[in-house]
A and B are shown apart, each in its own frame.
Chain A
Amino acid sequence: MSGRRFVVVGASLAGLRAVEAARKSGFDGPITLIGAEPHLPYDRPPLSKAFLDGADLPAFRGEEVLRDELGAELVLGTAATALDTTAGTVHAGEREFGYDALVIATGARARTLQGTDGLRGVHTLRTRDDAQAVRRALDAGARTVVVGAGFIGSEVASAARKRGRDVTIVEALPTPLVRAVGQTMGAACAALHTRAGTDLRCGVGVEAVEGAGTVERVRLTDGTVLAADLVVAGIGAVPATGWLAGSGLTLDDGVVCDETLFTGAPGVYAAGDVARWHNPMFGRHMRLEHWTSAAEQGAVAARNALDPAVAKPYSTVPYFWSDWYGSRIQFVGVPATDEVRVVDGGPGGDHFVALYREGDRLAGALTLNGQTQIMKYRGLIARGAAWTQGLEFAGRRRSAAMERV
């Protein structure tokens, strides 16, 4: 396989796993890893969790491991600007990189609040630099306003409360997390904020973020004015596909791929938050912003790009987790809307399990502090379990718990 050139664009989890998988599969040709951030690949979930509480954030691998053991040329702090699928080249910085196999793993970038460019104290939370700035502000005792009651925003609020700081979350929709977990369970998760002393305001928008050079206040659409030294926008992310304009790849909320993560251009595969691929497990295209799928797709995309003749599909039951106020929220599958049933605990309590039905199939499960149950549902969903099987399993769990009491 030597002589062929493998290029990975995007030096986060999916990109790193692509490099590692290439070497594990026996590829001994040159590898180039191109990343927009100046940092070595690092882990993102801790940025809004342990890192905000003061934990260290080491890089995934040291520079010598990447360079010497994995034999990758590192081109960091250099955003890719163009892809030519006919010539087989990637442009980044002042250079042009020819490839025979390419994995696109440029991830997503955080949406920003309109009209806040250059205003100090206003941040998103996507990168190590973002997280460092937010942590410094929290350390300094900032009055904090979080815009968006999604997972990132909720974790920031949780970190602020952990330090005993007052924090307000402003959410434009009447109920948070509806797209992620549905109406009822979105409300159940939101109740955690209120119980922890976070001021959650739903159904109200941000009119303006104001300040002279540094943020001073947030003006809401209902006329309320919130004093603020730190504003964190957790209003979603958009796939980083701007550099692929004109490449001929199909772009539609991400790089559209088939079930093997193939983009349709020779040798070009995509992985991680940027990829919208056909997930055979649910028979539909999806784009995930989850740790597990990014890691796994990175590896699959690399193996498939280097040996397309035997390309394998990537099929998965999506999984994500989020930590709020010492509680763990976990979700597996898809948040189907045909029916959502709470099968254990209650939406107002410290523990619950909710199941999601699509047709007659068990499609998803959400738990709050249900760590011992969540993966059993992931297994059921992966095996294509019927809704009734999900309910039966839940019934057996409840009976077993009753016997233990």
Chain B
Amino acid sequence: MKIIVDWNRCTGLGICESLAPGVFEVDDAGDLVLLSETVSDGDLEGVRQAVEGCPTEALRLEP
């Protein structure tokens, strides 16, 4: 699975980072950084929650 970020929507609120810290990180400037674009099986549940938990609906998962 691959993570797609809508960069026009993301405002770096960071909920994704708290749900899947191995995959998402907000940097010093407040911008989201993808630590990995593909999702390992171990991270999948956290990333699913991050997609659902994003207040700006900026995240998608694609096969």
A-B complex is real: yes
Residue positions of A touching B, CB distance < 8 A = 43, 45, 291-292, 295-296, 299, 317, 319, 321, 328, 330, 332, 369, 371-372, 374-376, 378-379, 382
Contact A43 B14 (CB under 8 A): no
B29 contact set on A, CB distance < 8 A: 371
B1 interface residue per 8 A CB criterion: no
Contact (A328, B18) CB under 8 Å given A43-B55, A45-B55, A295-B53: no
B41 interface residue per 8 A CB criterion: no
B27 interface residue per 8 A CB criterion: yes
Contact B53 A375 (CB under 8 A): no
Contact B53 A292 (CB under 8 A): yes
Q: Within the complex, which residue of A43, A375, A379 is in contact with B26, where a contact is CB–CB below 8 Å?
A: A375
Q: List 10 A-B contacts (CB under 8 A).
A: A291-B55, A292-B53, A295-B55, A321-B13, A328-B30, A371-B29, A372-B25, A372-B26, A374-B14, A375-B14
Contact A379 B30 (CB under 8 A): no
- A211 CB, min distance to chain B CBs, angstroms: 37
* Distance between Cα atoms of A43 and B52 in the complex (Å): 14
* Distance between Cα atoms of A321 and B14 in the complex (Å): 10
Contact A371 B18 (CB under 8 A): no
| Interface positions of B from 13 to 58, Cβ below 8 Å from A | 13-15, 17-18, 21, 25-30, 52-53, 55
A295 contact set on B, CB distance < 8 A: 52-53, 55
A382 contact set on B, CB distance < 8 A: 18
Contact A296 B53 (CB under 8 A): yes
* Distance between Cα atoms of A318 and B58 in the complex (Å): 21
- B25 CB, min distance to chain A CBs, angstroms: 7
- B18 CB, min distance to chain A CBs, angstroms: 4
SS class, residues of chain A in contact with chain B? helix
A299 contact set on B, CB distance < 8 A: 52
A43 contact set on B, CB distance < 8 A: 55
Residue in B closest to A13 when the chains form the complex, CB atoms = B55
* Distance between Cα atoms of A291 and B15 in the complex (Å): 11
- B52 CB, min distance to chain A CBs, angstroms: 8
B30 contact set on A, CB distance < 8 A: 328, 369, 371-372
Residue in A closest to B17 when the chains form the complex, CB atoms = A375
B21 contact set on A, CB distance < 8 A: 375-376, 379
- B40 CB, min distance to chain A CBs, angstroms: 18
* Distance between Cα atoms of A45 and B21 in the complex (Å): 24
Residue in A closest to B16 when the chains form the complex, CB atoms = A375
* Distance between Cα atoms of A43 and B53 in the complex (Å): 13
Residue in B closest to A295 when the chains form the complex, CB atoms = B53
Residue in B closest to A330 when the chains form the complex, CB atoms = B14
B18 contact set on A, CB distance < 8 A: 317, 319, 332, 375, 378-379, 382
Q: Within the complex, which residue of B12, B52, B53, B55 is in contact with A371, where a contact is CB–CB below 8 Å?
A: B12
Residue in B closest to A291 when the chains form the complex, CB atoms = B55
- A299 CB, min distance to chain B CBs, angstroms: 8
Residue in B closest to A50 when the chains form the complex, CB atoms = B11
* Distance between Cα atoms of A379 and B15 in the complex (Å): 11
